[in-house]
Structure 1
Amino acid sequence: MDLAELHALLTPEGLRLVDDLGEIGSTDDVAAAVSRLRRDGHSPDLVSAVVDQARLRTRARAKFDTFAGRMLFTRAGLEQATRLGVAARHAARFRAAGIERVADLGCGIGGDALGMAGLGLNVLAVDADEVTAALAAYNLAPFGDAVAVQHGRAEDTDLSGVDAVWLDPARRTAGHTETTRVGAGDWSPSLEWVFDLAERMPAGIKLGPAFDRARIPHGVEAQWISVDGSTIELVVWSGILARPGVARSALVIRGDSAAELTAPADSADEPVRTLGEFIHEPEGAVIRARLIGEVARELEAGMVAPGIAYLTGDAAVTSPFVQTFRVREQLPFDVKRLGAALRERGIGTLEIKKRGVDIDPAVLRTKLKLRGDASATLILTKMDGKRVAILADRVSATT
């Protein structure tokens, strides 16, 4: 979104048109909306801004539920915004620590600030991009004086009267009309500045889940978060926001339920063991937090191979920290023989999972020439230094 589209959108006419359009999902819906608005005499800038917002609101429901219906977005801003449910969990940590006023430095379209204000915190929201800051101000307007939005650099923000800070340093550059991801060495604000600030006052720092662990400061809590099977972020907590005795945390959220695994340090893996009745695939947050060993001990399981994040065991237990599969049998790894074996068993629907082997599941699926009404999971990995193919069935969490 550029300034011309922003100015066209932030008018009574523009906002009314967005509300009137409702949800727009398909390309056909977009084409029909554009044609109708142009036929009604609206300008190209206004039509582009309005239709884009209607489409973004439709996509945003996955993150913001009904709140999306009165918010405004940029495409990248929506992509990078924290899900409202996760933002509320972050906000709850600030509130539990007795924090009253938070500076959200690099607020984007206001997702985290929305969670904080929704739990009664006072928020100073700051973004270096003019368009993004304007959208954040609109999105946070319902909270009135509890939220102040500023267009400016995090480094230049007056933090007097602020109890703690929330930072998302890696995802935007000042002066752009569209929020963008920056390169590995182009953090804005710089990591040095961010981590120095976190030493001086309580902070939550949102980073990508693949962030270099060697760069995580000492004396903080590092919390990896998975939502519905996807590992979405790493949050580094400092000061009173870091829980005593917790250096590593894996928070796993599925639907409305959540479970957390914590430890004072990385956990040592359990020894390798022979293939049992079950294979367990740890959640991404557990793997990133290096707490696989903690889960293995809980499940009475061992590693299938050194350095491969699959566990195996015989205990019929389930855990929120893994996806569990009941082993049927081992099959030959040769593609032709494997395809023949699957067709013989009538398996036409196949979930393919892999770790430790260089295979493209999409290409393999084509070569297997599946047919039949049955379904199964195929796990491709290494055991005893050799590639193995394991036919299995998913075990539901209620089994």
Structure 2
Amino acid sequence: MSYRFSLADVAYLRSEAGRAASAAADRLPLTPASRLADVRAVRQEAGAEHAAAVLETAVLRRRAAVRLESAEGWLLTDAALQQATATPVARHRASRLVGRDVHDVTCSIGADLIVVAKVARRTIGSDMDEVRLAMARHNCAVAGVSPALVRADALHPVTRDAVVVADPARRDEAGRRQWRPRDLAPPLDDLVAAHPGRDVVVKCAPGLDMAAVPWADEIEVVSLGGQVREAALWTGGLATSGVRRRATVLGTDGPLWTITDAESDDCPVREPGEWLIDPDGAVVRAGLVRQYAARHGLGQLDPRIAYLTGDTPPPGVRAFRVLERGRYTEKALRQTLRRHDVGRLEILARGVDVDPDALRRRLRPSGVNEASVVLTRIGSAPMAFLCTSHRIPA
């Protein structure tokens, strides 16, 4: 159970004594092995009354450094950090808001608000949680931005013309993740209905059912570093004309490439070629596999499966050069691995009911070579492709 911060905790952490205690805690190892010694050190520095808040803050700052580029000195809660957007993703989303008046109606601790405030004309942040709002005020000051901050319900507008930015909570009070739009807080349909005629962008989990948000003019699925991070729902003037679905692949310095449903999806189903390609997860989640294949001259192995094939892999992807292929049975695969003297084995599966970890344990590969096995289905036939993995230069 994570620590529950109070307004008194925030006030202490912002005080001179609290800042000194937090700075000392930031220098501790903060490992499982050092926990008892860390607790003693924090108690000695901050006193028993404030030790838990100081120690939790130090732990959260350490975790935040992986996701947020400039969170040094910030105040955070565990739940807020879990939902905070990785900075490159937040910066990409904010690129459509340059020069606009923006109201972040679920600003939480201010992570997205700070990124927006650096590019927007005017910004306002609001939240119902007084503790998070106090943390946002502190974090904005640390980051050198000064948006207006007010306590307000996202479903009861306090602005009229600004772009609405929202990031509804995706976990219930027990910490269980919620997927249905109506189960978010606030519910998506209610949120959009509360701001009629406004340009809106809503950050959602990438597993969102696109059919459940017909009001979204454009749905953008974003990945960073090979991981799908979010779905952004754009409406009105923020959306791209003629585009309903978009996949964007980011690097740490900005977009690497993007693809939309406005592009051709003229993609054949073909016999396996020299290479197999597993498209970026953003492409798959956005339902743009055929457009991606058409752009790069690839074909599908099966119209229902996202694996693609061709004789030349696209730039900047991980691709699999096929060494051998055949109908999949466990016995046949074991024999293939022995023929190729495979000991280090990666197993990827899509469209077949196989647990890769359990299968690897049963296969017990013991050779000296390294390989990847792609298990999939072509028509009704389960297939196995023995491959070598390659990172294709961008």
TM-score, normalised on structure 2? 0.89
Of the three residues 295, 313, 317, the one matched with 1:317 is 313
Are 1:237 and 2:241 an aligned pair?
Answer: no
Q: Does the CA contact (< 8 Å) of 1:245 and 1:263 recur in 2?
A: no
Of the three residues 33, 57, 62, the one matched with 1:53 is 57
Percent of matched pairs sharing the same residue: 32
Cα distance in 2 for residues equivalent to 1:182 and 1:307: 27
Q: Does the CA contact (< 8 Å) of 1:221 and 1:249 recur in 2?
A: yes
Q: Deviations over 1:265-310 (max 9, x none)?
A: 5964723211110111111111122211111112221111121110
Are 1:367 and 2:371 an aligned pair?
Answer: no
Cα distance in 2 for residues equivalent to 1:210 and 1:139: 30
For residue 319 of structure 2, give the secondary structure of its aligned residue in structure 1. strand
Distance 1:229 1:144, change over 3 A: closer
Distance 1:11 1:71, change over 3 A: same
Q: Does the CA contact (< 8 Å) of 2:284 and 2:306 recur in 1?
A: yes
Q: Deviations over 1:139-173 (max 9, x none)?
A: 1124667312223311234114x421101124367
Q: Does the CA contact (< 8 Å) of 2:261 and 2:288 recur in 1?
A: no
Q: Hey, what does 2:130 align to over in structure 1? A: 130
Distance 1:368 1:19, change over 3 A: same
Cα distance in 1 for residues equivalent to 2:341 and 2:247: 39
Q: Hey, what does 2:42 align to over in structure 1? A: 37
Cα distance in 2 for residues equivalent to 1:35 and 1:338: 56
Cα distance in 2 for residues equivalent to 1:386 and 1:283: 25
TM-fit CA distance, 1:362:
1.4
Q: Hey, what does 2:220 align to over in structure 1? A: 223
Of the three residues 264, 267, 274, the one matched with 2:271 is 274
Q: Hey, what does 1:196 align to over in structure 2? A: 193
Distance 1:218 1:9, change over 3 A: closer
Query: Within 5 A, what are the aligned runs for 1:135-154?
Result: 135-142=135-142, 146-154=146-154
Aligned letter for 2:229? I
Q: Hey, what does 2:345 align to over in structure 1? A: 350
Aligned letter for 2:392? A
Cα distance in 2 for residues equivalent to 1:206 and 1:219: 12
Cα distance in 1 for residues equivalent to 2:259 and 2:19: 45
Distance 1:182 1:381, change over 3 A: closer
Q: Hey, what does 1:107 align to over in structure 2? A: 107
TM-fit CA distance, 1:45:
4.3
Q: Which moved more, 1:340-349 or 1:223-232?
A: 340-349
For residue 243 of structure 1, give the secondary structure of its aligned residue in structure 2. coil
TM-score, normalised on structure 1? 0.88
Q: Does the CA contact (< 8 Å) of 2:96 and 2:238 recur in 1?
A: yes
Of the three residues 62, 66, 71, the one matched with 1:68 is 71
Aligned letter for 2:64? A
Distance 1:219 1:126, change over 3 A: closer
For residue 39 of structure 2, give the secondary structure of its aligned residue in structure 1. helix
Q: Deviations over 1:96-128 (max 9, x none)?
A: xx41x2110111221211111223543211122
Of the three residues 286, 290, 295, the one matched with 1:298 is 295
Q: Does the CA contact (< 8 Å) of 1:324 and 1:395 recur in 2?
A: yes
Are 1:163 and 2:168 an aligned pair?
Answer: no
Of the three residues 358, 373, 381, the one matched with 1:378 is 373
Distance 1:239 1:258, change over 3 A: same
After superposition, the CA RMSD in angstroms is 2.6
Q: Which moved more, 1:240-249 or 1:77-86?
A: 240-249
Cα distance in 2 for residues equivalent to 1:296 and 1:340: 33
Of the three residues 78, 81, 92, the one matched with 2:81 is 78
Q: Hey, what does 1:253 align to over in structure 2? A: 250
Cα distance in 2 for residues equivalent to 1:373 and 1:138: 56
For residue 155 of structure 2, give the secondary structure of its aligned residue in structure 1. helix
TM-fit CA distance, 1:332:
6.0
Cα distance in 1 for residues equivalent to 2:296 and 2:358: 34
For residue 273 of structure 1, give the secondary structure of its aligned residue in structure 2. coil
Aligned letter for 2:126? V
Cα distance in 2 for residues equivalent to 1:37 and 1:143: 26
For residue 71 of structure 2, give the secondary structure of its aligned residue in structure 1. helix
Q: Does the CA contact (< 8 Å) of 2:114 and 2:145 recur in 1?
A: no
TM-fit CA distance, 1:214:
1.0
Q: Does the CA contact (< 8 Å) of 2:42 and 2:54 recur in 1?
A: no
Aligned letter for 1:333? Y
Q: Does the CA contact (< 8 Å) of 2:327 and 2:381 recur in 1?
A: no
Q: Does the CA contact (< 8 Å) of 1:121 and 1:146 recur in 2?
A: no
Q: Which residues of structure 2 form unaligned runs of 5+?
A: none
Q: Does the CA contact (< 8 Å) of 2:166 and 2:203 recur in 1?
A: yes
Q: Which residues of structure 1 form unaligned runs of 5+?
A: none
Q: Which moved more, 1:84-93 or 1:187-196?
A: 187-196
Aligned letter for 1:61? A
Cα distance in 2 for residues equivalent to 1:77 and 1:142: 17
Q: Hey, what does 2:96 align to over in structure 1? A: 93
TM-fit CA distance, 1:351:
1.9
Aligned residues: 388
TM-fit CA distance, 1:211:
1.1
